[in-house]
Amino acid sequence: MRIRPVPQGGARARGSDEIRTTPPGSGRPARPHGFDLSGKEAGKMSKLRVAVLGAKGRIGSEAVRAVEAADDMELVAALGRDDRLETLAETGAQVVVELTTPASVMGNLDFCVRHGIHAVVGTTGWTDDRLAQLTGLLDRSPGTGVLIAPNFSIGAVLTMKFAQIAAPYFESVEVVELHHPNKVDAPSGTATRTAQLIAEARRKAGSAPAPDATVTALDGARGADVDGVPVHAVRLRGLLAHQEVLLGGEGETLTVRHDSLHHSSFMPGILLGTRRVVTTPGLTFGLEHFLDLN
């Protein structure tokens, strides 16, 4: 793999200060990276050509190492702030791992979809309007797939599933998410998605609204209301990414908790999404759709 100066002009990506590209057919040995959800055919076919956007960020740099270490993948570009998006097409990237910012993600995905490049997206800040805009882009590019994952940790995805299963069996349920103080959004995308899944499960089961006699409260004391589920956000130095779902019934409580202790916890999910998105056209929201959880 070689490092070269950033050419002038053209569309640019945000997230780091350098551009790294790998010409077709190159590659290098790399250290193993956690467990591998690659499937049994890894190494028996041509390698998947992968690029990372936001490659100098904490998760982005970890993703670069994970892709380099995957036997069935070849890292062809690691792009950051001010790097040319055209590099994705020039290097023949088949999949882009998008780990930038809410301000830049739509422009990056517009470029990818127009060039038929699949995308695995960890960037947050998704609204109904943005999802509708992205769906419109994908409608004009049949065969291109985009996965948006509120969380790439397999444990976090399972936590959401467990909470969804348990929610109809308890009168009360609330979500508490805890993150490092540099996180820019609150509540987290994971907590919001968890609350949405809980609310959907309770509606389908015909559950009554959770009891709450609160009449007066300071602003924010009862958390954010996400489809009727209270969601509380904690920002604390020393934390990375953590979530609790608290469920309560007559004489008992159940706590479903997940802790990400290192950014490496997100890599198996990123690799799984990268492998699956190439055969899943259209928009997929949530890594759970790529796991056999039913």
Active site residues: 179, 183
Query: What is the distance between the terminal CA atoms of the chain, rounded to a whole angstrom?
Result: 41
Nearest to 54 by CA among 151, 122, 7: 122
Confirm or deny that 221 is annotated as ligand binding.
no
Peptide bond just before 187 cis, omega within 30 deg: yes
84 is in an annotated binding site: yes
What whole-number distance in Å separates Cα of residue 19 and Cα of residue 55?
9
54 is in an annotated binding site: yes
Annotated binding residue 57: yes
Tell me if 123 is assigned to a ligand binding site: yes
On whether 190 is known to bind a ligand per the annotation, the reply is yes
Q: Is 150 annotated as a binding residue?
A: yes
DSSP code per residue over 231-282: EEEEE-TT--EEEEEEEEETTEEEEEEEEE-SGGGGHHHHHHHHHHHTT--E
Integer Cα distance of 125 and 190 in angstroms: 11
108 is in an annotated binding site: no
Chain centre to alpha carbon of residue 142: 23
Beta carbons of 275 and 72 less than 8 angstroms apart: yes
Which DSSP state fits 222? T
Q: Is 251 annotated as a binding residue?
A: no
Binding-site sequence positions for NAD(+): 54-59, 83, 122-124, 149-152
Binding-site sequence positions for NADP(+): 84
Binding-site sequence positions for (S)-2,3,4,5-tetrahydrodipicolinate: 180, 189-190
Binding-site sequence positions: 54-59, 83-84, 122-124, 149-152, 180, 189-190
